[in-house]
């Protein structure tokens, strides 16, 4: 008897989002940081590509640069799935993905600004 | 990056994002802290099905653990138009460290939420951040009904390095949670200043 723990009646949440990725669980290409900024390259989805509603939604939301974590939360999709969507879209030139700016974390003035701003909350 | 040179948006790449981790044992107040001080939203991760810890869980037949979905507390504080602080509340158990490795990368630091009734629950978080040399503060969440401990007692119990701040907080209070974050940022600043004194460039 086949006893596959992934395909029991509770496994829906695993299977469904990954249907969107064609069953893949890993994105291709350069690693996509949680706080990388995604920007659409075109205002609207090109008609010649077979896009899912989620792709179209990414294009719409990322007309303004949007961090990956915000996007995953807004789309209510797991991060792993969003990363695969984004890597596909990057390959097709639909979006650009910019790594987060990290160098300034060693800048005491920036951190002082953060502390001051938090104090005003 | 084929379009890097011609990208007209190079100067408007979005705000600088600061990442802060909120760690600690189950029920220590992570969600409470994130929601009192920021716009909180759920963020799900769903890692590869081949994660060994997941297989172990599944084979043990734990009814509710057939998926690898982990919900994080995801909070956003817009400090300025060009500066955003992100809070990531993550489960403290070892089996979630695959997420932590990514979250810790480039993070400003971490808050370890401690519940004095179950202080041992915060050991893994403390160990983790010590090993990663990531600045962290311990926030003792003062639950109603829990015995109050002095910060020094908690420091000794957790065997913390002398410099690590230990603060008492009430995670339900916005100002109290905010002060915890301020303590962390100030501690991170002090570590930068220290390293500059020790190794002038």
Cα within 13 Å of Cα(B195), Cβ side: 10
| Distance separating alpha carbons of residues B201 and B197, to the nearest angstrom | 9
Q: Tokens 């957790």 label which residue?
A: B158
- B2, B12, B17: best mutation site toward chain A, by most A Cβ within 10 Å? B17
Q: Is residue B6 part of a domain?
A: no
pLDDT at A106 over 90: no
Cβ-defined contact of A108 to B174 (cutoff 8 Å): no
CB atoms A37 and B7 under 8 Å: no
Rounded to two decimals, the ipTM of the complex is 0.78
From chain A, pick out residues whose CB is under 8 angstroms from the CB of B85.
114, 118
Q: What whole-number distance in Å separates Cα of residue B108 and Cα of residue B85? A: 10
User: Which residue is listed with tokens 């077979």?
Assistant: A50
**A60 and A26 Cβ atoms separated by less than 8 Å:** no
> Using 50, 70 and 90 to split pLDDT, how confident is the model at B65?
very low
pLDDT in tens, B93-128: 677 777 788 889 889 999 999 988 888 888 989 999
So what's the pLDDT on residue B187?
Answer: 96
Q: How close A51 gets to chain B, by Cα (Å)?
A: 22
**Which one has a higher pLDDT value, A23 or B89?**
B89
pLDDT at residue A12, rounded to an integer: 47
CATH of residue B158: 3.40.50.300
Q: Are B44 and A78 an interchain contact pair (Cβ–Cβ within 8 Å)?
A: yes
Answer whether B68 sits within 8 Å of A113, measured CB to CB: no
Mean pLDDT for chain A? 82
**CA B83 to CA A19: how far, in whole Å?**
36
Angle between helices A79-91 and A68-75 (to 10 degrees): 110
Q: How many domains does chain B have?
A: 1
> Residue B22 falls within a domain, yes or no?
yes
Instruction: Flag whether B10 is in a domain.
Output: no
B62: domain range? 16-198
pLDDT band at B11 (very low <50, low <70, confident <90, very high): very low
Which of B13, B77, B80 is nearest residue A37 as measured by Cβ atoms?
A: B13
pLDDT band per the 50, 70, 90 thresholds, residue B199: low
Q: Which of B13, B58, B185 sits opposite A65 (nearest CB)?
A: B13
Q: Do the bridges between strand A66-67 and strand A37-40 make them parallel or antiparallel, or are there none, so unpaired?
A: antiparallel
Contact B33, B177 (CB under 8 A): yes
The answer to whether position B9 is within a domain reads: no
Asked, for residue B7, whether it belongs to a domain, the answer is no
What's the CA dihedral at A93, A101, B76, B138 to 10 degrees? 140
Q: Do A77 and B108 touch (CB under 8 A)?
A: no
Q: Of the ranges A62-66, A71-75, B7-11, B67-71, which one carries the lowest mean pLDDT score? A: B7-11
Q: Is the pLDDT of residue B56 over 50?
A: no
């Amino acid at each position: 008897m086949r006893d596959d723990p992934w395909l029991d009646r509770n496994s829906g949440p695993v299977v469904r989002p990954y249907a969107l990725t064609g069953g893949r669980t890993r994105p291709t290409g350069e690693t996509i940081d949680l706080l990388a900024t995604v920007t659409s390259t075109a205002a609207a989805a090109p008609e010649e590509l077979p896009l899912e509603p989620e792709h179209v939604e990414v294009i719409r939301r990322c007309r303004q640069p949007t961090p990956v974590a915000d996007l995953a939360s807004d789309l209510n999709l797991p991060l792993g799935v969003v990363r695969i969507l984004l890597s596909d879209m990057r390959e097709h030139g639909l979006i650009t993905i910019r790594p987060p700016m990290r160098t300034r974390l060693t800048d005491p003035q920036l951190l002082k600004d953060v502390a001051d701003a938090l104090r005003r909350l | 990056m084929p379009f890097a040179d011609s990208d007209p948006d190079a100067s408007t790449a979005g705000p600088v994002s600061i990442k802060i981790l909120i760690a600690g044992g189950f029920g220590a107040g992570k969600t409470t802290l994130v929601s009192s001080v920021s716009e909180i939203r759920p963020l799900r991760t769903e890692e590869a099905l081949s994660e060994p810890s997941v297989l172990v869980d599944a084979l043990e037949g734990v009814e509710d653990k057939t998926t690898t979905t982990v919900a994080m507390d995801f909070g956003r504080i817009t400090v300025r138009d060009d500066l955003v602080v992100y809070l990531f509340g993550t489960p403290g158990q070892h089996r979630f460290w695959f997420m932590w490795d990514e979250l810790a990368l480039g993070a400003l630091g971490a808050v370890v939420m401690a519940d004095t009734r179950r202080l041992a629950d915060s050991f893994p978080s403390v160990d983790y951040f010590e090993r990663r040399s990531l600045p962290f503060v311990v926030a003792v969440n003062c639950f109603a009904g829990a015995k109050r401990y002095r910060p020094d007692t908690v420091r000794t119990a957790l065997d913390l390095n002398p410099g690590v701040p230990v603060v008492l907080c009430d995670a339900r209070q916005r100002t109290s949670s905010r002060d915890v974050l301020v303590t962390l940022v100030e501690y991170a600043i002090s570590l930068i200043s220290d390293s500059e004194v020790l190794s002038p460039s």
